Each structure stands twice: as C-alpha cells, then as structure tokens.
Amino acid sequence: MTHEEIKNKVIEFLTRSLRNKELGEDDNIIDLGLVHSLFMVQLIMFIEKNFHVEIDDDDLDMEQIQTVRQIVSLIERNQQTGVSL
C-alpha cells in the first residue's frame, strides 16, 4: 500500500468517526478536542486490522499519534519492521 493510500484510508476513518469534520494532515486531533481515550483504542484497533500490523506498547504514546501524518508514519514504521498480525 502506498503512502497516499494509507493516508487516505486514515483520513477516511477519522472523518467518518469524527462526524465528517475535515482534517488536515497536521491537525492535532487531541488538541482539537475531537477524541477521547476510548476513541484512541478504536484508532489502534483500526490500524492493526486494516494495515495488518501490531502496535508495540512503545508506540502507544498519545503524543506519537495526534496527527494524520504521525499515524501514517506509525503504520509505515510498523510495516517496515515486519511486525504483522
């Protein structure tokens, strides 16, 4: 899956889950008050299921998954390391 395909899939999930609010690649979803801890669990489950990766505990730092750019980077890093489900 290409960088753009990953980004588009993440944006689609976030906008659908956040009542179609438009998000830029660097908008901080936490600072905007759009998410809560339960949603972050749903986001991790979405990532693991749709991109066939397992997210390490080290990557679960909320500061590392606040923007679309960070989420895409997390997915790509995990795909490259071969940590898959």
Q: What is the DSSP string of the chain?
A: --HHHHHHHHHHHHHHHTTT----TT--TTTTT---HHHHHHHHHHHHHHHT----GGGG-GGGSSSHHHHHHHHHHHHHHT---
Q: For the segment 35-44, what is each residue's pLDDT rounded down to a tens digit?
A: 777 888 899 9
Q: For the segment 25-73, what is each residue's pLDDT rounded down to a tens digit?
A: 999 888 877 777 788 889 999 999 999 998 887 777 778 888 999 999 9
CATH 1.10.1200.10 fits 3-71, yes or no: yes
Q: Where are the domains of the chain?
A: 3-71
